[in-house]
């Protein structure tokens, strides 16, 4: 073994060459060695691909820190072991779905085989399907767990493995840590790869129909949709799974003028027309936006590969097309659900919303003014699902979301749902149009009434082992040396979700934070600005969330106030030293 590799890396590589791995895998390891791809080998073997609190996500390839048949098999065997412990004597069932990524069908089949080899009945979608339908299927079929093979909006080189629990939500404490412990115990020889075909049952159109029927029950303004049925909608699935359901849903809702972006309609794991298949990126929606502009459409909708996130574009108050961020879309959607339900007489008085701690606090202001309770959770939709489970039968989940383009309404799905969101956003636009308004004008009215909340996200990509260490060092430094001022504003409070403490820097008072432990820091300034820092759990990034606010005394002041808020965020970014 070459001395160009650290001893522990060389030992891990040799273990794969000597172990019971298939010949194709060993040949690829030897190729990397012969080509002296030492950085690639280090990144592939310096640690085991972690089964984190949401499952696996990583680059596809050979090695213990990559997505491949062995890391997927280990994850599935560990989850199977935990299910057998958690539900003794029960007939276990799991559901499995997969997206359009390369190797997703193969990983899904492998997962089904390992589960079935452990005596667990598997419901396997026969073709690619959206993540939210997997959540729905778990609940309908009475499964104890489920898995979807997806890397969501990550680049094409990635794939992933998301694990779900009996309620249809992703696993939360204590199950997440318990599953991680079981996965870590599994050795190569423990994985049961030989499946039992009789325990693998197909899922398809019948589940689609049940799901769509439930989504249609959420519509609150069908008359407005009928009057605006000719509204022009451009939709792109960005080569992902939403093509299977969104056009059908919009048609059933009554929209007759839906135009699919054909260049991106075919599922393709290489995502040939985009750099990243992420609707948060303007580039990913550029083809759809050009089509929407050319035909003078009313709305552009674009989803990520597994259809749990949706980005939108529409005309702003000046008649120019604008991509909305996740906070703006969430604000409009929640406002629509409240207003339209009130108009329809469907509010029952025990509704609530839920959002993450890095999502706009404008949602809190709207809900509280409307008499709705608000739950704030850690980042990750599984925590919103946990809130729904805890309040089920006592209160009704009206809707919620997170700034990263994920939204949900109703209680029959327990993960963010771009299929459902596409339908409700289209209805929202039709409802506004039916009242002679544009959604963007409604957004400005909301700012005028509740305050102008303005947010930006900055993400720093730090790849590989060195990048992970750099992110860790940044968070450590922020904890040891928190800024005393940012953007000319004194920092008055620091919330550290790792220690679960909120400290008032003016008085020294420390209060306990109610949420679970998480690697998140938040800085609050004397003017009400909020800056959050957290390493991504799914990408090699550290993310900074900026939120500032000001009064908007009248609609005509929108441009002026927005410019001032942008300048305020620019000053905050500069003081944090994150601009590159």
What tens-digit pLDDT sequence spans the chain (580 residues)? 455 899 999 999 999 999 999 999 999 999 999 999 999 999 999 998 988 777 899 999 999 999 999 999 999 999 999 999 999 999 999 999 999 999 999 999 999 999 999 999 999 999 999 999 999 999 999 999 999 999 998 999 999 999 999 999 999 989 999 999 999 999 999 999 999 999 999 999 999 999 999 999 999 999 999 999 999 999 999 999 999 999 999 999 999 999 999 999 999 999 999 999 999 999 999 999 999 999 999 999 999 999 999 999 999 999 999 999 999 999 999 999 999 999 999 998 899 999 999 999 999 999 999 999 999 999 999 999 999 999 999 999 999 999 999 999 999 999 999 999 999 999 999 999 999 999 999 999 999 999 999 999 999 999 888 898 999 999 999 999 999 999 999 999 999 999 999 999 999 999 999 999 999 999 999 999 999 999 987 778 999 999 999 999 999 999 999 999 999 999 999 999 887 5
Q: Are residues 419 and 469 in the same domain?
A: no
Collapsing DSSP states into helix, strand and coil, what is residue 468?
Answer: helix
> Residues for the chain: how many in total?
580
- CA torsion 128-131-137-138 (nearest 10°) is 130
Cα dist from 210 to 55, 204, 207, 224, 245, whole Å: 27, 11, 5, 25, 12
Q: What is the domain extent for residue 11?
A: 1-46
- Listed in sequence order, the residues at least 6 apart from 347 whose beta carbon sits closer than 8 Å to its beta carbon are 338, 341
Q: Are residues 12 and 95 in the same domain?
A: no
CA nearest neighbour of 434 among 138, 179, 159, 226:
226
Residue ending a domain, choose from 171, 203, 235? 203
Contacts 24+ apart (CB under 8 A), 43-46: 43/463, 43/464, 43/465, 45/9, 45/12, 45/13, 45/16, 46/6, 46/8, 46/9, 46/12, 46/465
Collapsing DSSP states into helix, strand and coil, what is residue 399?
Answer: strand
Residues 566, 568: Cα–Cα separation, whole Å:
5
Q: What is the pLDDT of residue 24?
A: 96
Q: Are residues 224 and 362 in the same domain?
A: yes
- Listed in sequence order, the residues at least 6 apart from 108 whose beta carbon sits closer than 8 Å to its beta carbon are 96, 97, 98, 124, 125, 147, 149
Sign of the torsion formed by the C-alpha atoms of 427, 430, 435 and 437: positive
Collapsing DSSP states into helix, strand and coil, what is residue 60?
Answer: strand
Q: Are residues 216 and 69 in the same domain?
A: no
Q: Are residues 427 and 492 in the same domain?
A: no
- Listed in sequence order, the residues at least 6 apart from 372 whose beta carbon sits closer than 8 Å to its beta carbon are 338, 351, 352, 353, 398
Q: Are residues 429 and 499 in the same domain?
A: no
Q: Is 152 a catalytic residue?
A: yes
How, if at all, do strands 145-149 and 93-98 pair? Answer: parallel
Q: Are residues 424 and 479 in the same domain?
A: no
Q: Are residues 433 and 332 in the same domain?
A: yes
Q: Are residues 323 and 350 in the same domain?
A: yes
Helices (H) and strands (E) in the chain, counts: 18, 23
Domain count across the chain: 4
Q: Are residues 402 and 264 in the same domain?
A: yes
What is the layout of strands, in order, in the sheet containing 258-260? 258-260, 233-236, 299-303, 310-315, 321-323
Which residue in the list 12, 104, 135, 152 is annotated as catalytic? 152
Q: Are residues 507 and 535 in the same domain?
A: yes
Q: Are residues 189 and 229 in the same domain?
A: no
Q: What is the pLDDT of residue 466?
A: 86
- List beta partners, residue 409: 399
- Is there a contact between 516 and 478 (Cβ–Cβ < 8 Å)? no
Residues 313, 144: Cα–Cα separation, whole Å:
38
Q: What is the pLDDT of residue 464?
A: 83
Cα dist from 234 to 244, 426, 496, 539, whole Å: 16, 10, 42, 29
- Listed in sequence order, the residues at least 6 apart from 27 whose beta carbon sits closer than 8 Å to its beta carbon are none
Any idea what the CATH number is for the domain that residue 345 is in? 3.40.120.10
Phi and psi angles of residue 357, each rounded to the nearest 5 degrees, phi first: -70, -15
């Amino acid at each position: 073994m070459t001395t160009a590799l650290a001893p522990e890396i060389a030992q891990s590589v040799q273990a794969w060459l000597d172990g019971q791995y298939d010949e194709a895998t060993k040949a690829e390891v030897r190729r990397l060695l012969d080509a002296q791809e030492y950085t690639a080998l280090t990144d592939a073997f310096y640690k085991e691909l972690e089964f984190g609190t949401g499952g696996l996500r990583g680059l596809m390839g050979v090695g213990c820190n990559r997505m491949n048949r062995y890391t997927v098999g280990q994850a599935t065997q560990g989850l199977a072991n935990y299910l057998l412990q958690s539900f003794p004597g029960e007939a276990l069932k799991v559901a499995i779905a997969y997206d359009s990524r390369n190797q997703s069908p193969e990983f899904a089949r492998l997962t089904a085989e390992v589960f079935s080899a452990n005596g667990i009945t598997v419901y396997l979608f026969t073709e690619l399907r959206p993540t939210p339908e997997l959540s729905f299927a778990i609940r309908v079929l009475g499964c104890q767990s489920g898995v979807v093979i997806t890397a969501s909006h990550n680049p094409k080189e990635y794939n992933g493995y998301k694990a779900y629990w009996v309620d249809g939500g992703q696993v939360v404490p204590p199950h997440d840590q318990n599953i991680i412990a079981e996965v870590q115990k599994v050795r190569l020889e423990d994985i049961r790869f030989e499946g039992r075909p009789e325990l693998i049952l197909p899922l398809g159109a019948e589940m689609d129909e049940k799901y769509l029927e439930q989504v249609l029950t959420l519509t609150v303004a069908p008359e407005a949709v009928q009057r605006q049925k000719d509204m022009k909608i451009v939709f792109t699935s960005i080569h992902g799974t939403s093509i299977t359901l969104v056009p059908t849903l919009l048609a059933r809702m009554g929209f007759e003028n839906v135009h699919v972006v054909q260049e991106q309609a075919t599922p393709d794991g290489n995502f040939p027309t985009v750099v990243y298949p992420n609707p948060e990126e303007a580039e990913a929606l550029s083809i759809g936006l050009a089509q929407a502009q050319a035909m003078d459409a009313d709305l552009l909708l674009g989803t990520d590969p597994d259809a749990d996130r949706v980005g939108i574009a529409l005309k702003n108050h000046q008649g120019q097309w604008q991509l909305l961020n996740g906070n703006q879309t969430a604000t409009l959607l929640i406002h629509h659900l409240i207003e339209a339900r009130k108009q329809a007489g469907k509010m029952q008085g025990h509704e609530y919303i839920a959002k993450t701690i890095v999502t706009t606090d404008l949602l809190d202001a709207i809900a509280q003014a409307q008499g709705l309770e608000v739950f704030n959770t850690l980042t990750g939709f599984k925590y919103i699902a946990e809130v729904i489970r805890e309040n089920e039968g006592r209160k009704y989940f009206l809707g919620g979301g997170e700034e990263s383009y994920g939204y949900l309404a109703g209680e029959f799905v327990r993960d963010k749902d771009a299929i459902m969101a596409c339908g409700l956003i289209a209805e929202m636009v039709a409802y506004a149009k039916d009242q002679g308004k544009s959604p963007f004008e409604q957004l400005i009215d909301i700012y005028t009434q509740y305050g102008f909340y303005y947010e930006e996200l900055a993400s720093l990509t730090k790849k590989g082992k060195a990048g992970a260490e750099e992110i860790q060092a940044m968070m450590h430094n922020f904890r040891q040396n928190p800024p005393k001022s940012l953007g000319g504003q004194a920092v008055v409070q620091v919330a550290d979700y790792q220690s679960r403490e909120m400290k008032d820097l003016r008085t020294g008072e420390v209060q306990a934070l109610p949420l679970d432990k998480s690697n998140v820091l938040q800085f609050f300034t004397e003017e009400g600005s909020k800056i959050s820092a957290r390493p991504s759990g799914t990408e090699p990034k550290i993310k900074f969330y900026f939120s500032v606010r000001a009064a908007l005394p009248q609609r005509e002041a929108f441009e002026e106030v927005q410019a001032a808020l942008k300048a305020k965020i620019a000053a905050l970014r500069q003081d944090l030293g994150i601009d590159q």
